[in-house]
């Protein structure tokens, strides 16, 4: 399974049966947005947040640069879709 972490654009490939733990922190009112697709999961963080990904108790990735702001009323997913033309 591929786990895509946005807006950082990183991909983690997890073996079958692996369990990933995502720890996000940032401004209140934000949520991770998860979009499952066949064989993939894309996770979108919210503006101002940071994210850590763990598997089997080990830190795999530390996204410590906060997500930049997006236009008012837009999600990170919507903004990336608009900029990259993905229709998300």
pLDDT band at 85 (very low <50, low <70, confident <90, very high): confident
Domain residue ranges in the chain? 2-84
Contact of 65 with 15, CB cutoff 8 Å = no
Q: pLDDT tens across 8-47, in order?
A: 999 999 888 888 999 999 998 899 999 999 989 999 999 9
What are the tokens at 53? 């990904």
Distance between CA 75 and CA 48 in Å, rounded? 12
Whole-prediction pTM? 0.87
pLDDT for position 86: 66
């Amino acid at each position: 399974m591929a786990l895509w972490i946005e807006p950082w654009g990183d991909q983690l490939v997890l073996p079958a049966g692996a369990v990933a733990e995502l720890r996000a922190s940032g401004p209140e009112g934000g949520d991770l947005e998860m979009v499952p697709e066949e064989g993939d999961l894309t996770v979108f963080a919210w503006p101002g947040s940071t994210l850590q990904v763990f598997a089997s108790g080990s830190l795999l990735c530390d996204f410590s640069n906060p997500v930049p702001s997006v236009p008012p009323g837009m999600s990170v997913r919507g903004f990336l879709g608009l900029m990259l033309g993905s229709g998300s």
